[in-house]
Structure formats: structure tokens, C-alpha cells
Amino acid sequence: MTRYLICRPAFAVALLASALLAGCSGPKTMYQWEGYQPQVYEYFKGESKQAQALALEADLEKIRAKNGVVPPGYHAQLGLLYSSLGKDDQMVQQFQAEKAEFPESAAYMDFLLKNAKVAAQ
């Protein structure tokens, strides 16, 4: 009986410790955000477009290296940066990638592509 009473608190402590450790792992995110959100903030603050594009390109390489999933809007944001830098071929490539990965963005990507073609003429 004494043996049972000694093991019971030890079991409770072990159970509590394992529950706490399991809770610390946190949920796995669906997308690999990297520095996307801070770069969008920098975009709206009017910071250097070239620096933002370079940061997003570097993060895109990190995401691909991890076999991660790019979040919605990532390619569109990069495309907008390329547009403002005059890199129209890369802009089109990014907008097409956004459409391919997130079909629900097709109407907006088509709108941006159409406007880019009109502006180029």
C-alpha cells in the first residue's frame, strides 16, 4: 500500500510534465511566412522597394528550401514590387504564380495584369 502511495504522486508529476511539454510544441502553421508581413508593412510605409524585393526573394528561397508553402499574397506582393521597379517580365511571372497557387486570386491578378499592359502601351 505504501508503495502505491509513493508511485501515485510520481506518476502525476510525470503526466503533468509530459502534458506541459506537449503543449509547448505549438501548432504547425499551414504557410511559411518568413519575413512577409514585415515587408508588407515596409511597403505601406514607403520604404525601399528594391530592399523589400530582395528580402522577399531571399525568404522565398528559404521557404522553397524547407519545402514550405508560400502564403497567399506573397507572389502578388513581389509582383507589385517588381512593377514599381520596372521589372515587368518578373511582375507577370509572379502574378501568374499567385494565380496558379491561389485560384481565388485570379480575378484580381487578371485585373492587375490588364492594368499593367494598358500602362505599358
CATH number of the domain to which 70 belongs:
1.25.40
93 pLDDT higher than 90: yes
Q: Is residue 108 part of a domain?
A: yes
Q: For residue 23, what pLDDT is reported? A: 59
From 84, 11, 68, select the one nearest 36 (Cα to Cα): 68
Q: Is residue 38 part of a domain?
A: yes
Q: Is residue 105 part of a domain?
A: yes
How many domains is the chain partitioned into structurally? Answer: 1
Q: Is residue 11 part of a domain?
A: no
What would the mean pLDDT of 60-71 be, rounded to a whole number? 95
Is residue 105 a contact partner of residue 99, using CB atoms and an 8 Å limit?
A: yes
Distance CA 106, CA 89 (A): 18
Q: Is residue 27 part of a domain?
A: no
- DSSP symbol at 71: P
Q: For residue 73, what pLDDT is reported? A: 96
Q: For residue 16, what pLDDT is reported? A: 64
Q: For residue 22, what pLDDT is reported? A: 58
Q: Is residue 109 part of a domain?
A: yes
Q: Which domain holds residue 106?
A: 32-120
From 32, 84, 93, 30, select the one nearest 58 (Cα to Cα): 32
Distance CA 72, CA 29 (A): 13
Q: Is residue 18 part of a domain?
A: no
What would the mean pLDDT of 54-74 be, rounded to a whole number? 95
- DSSP symbol at 66: T
Q: Is residue 4 part of a domain?
A: no
How many C-beta atoms surround the C-beta of residue 109 within 10 A?
A: 22
Distance CA 19, CA 109 (A): 46
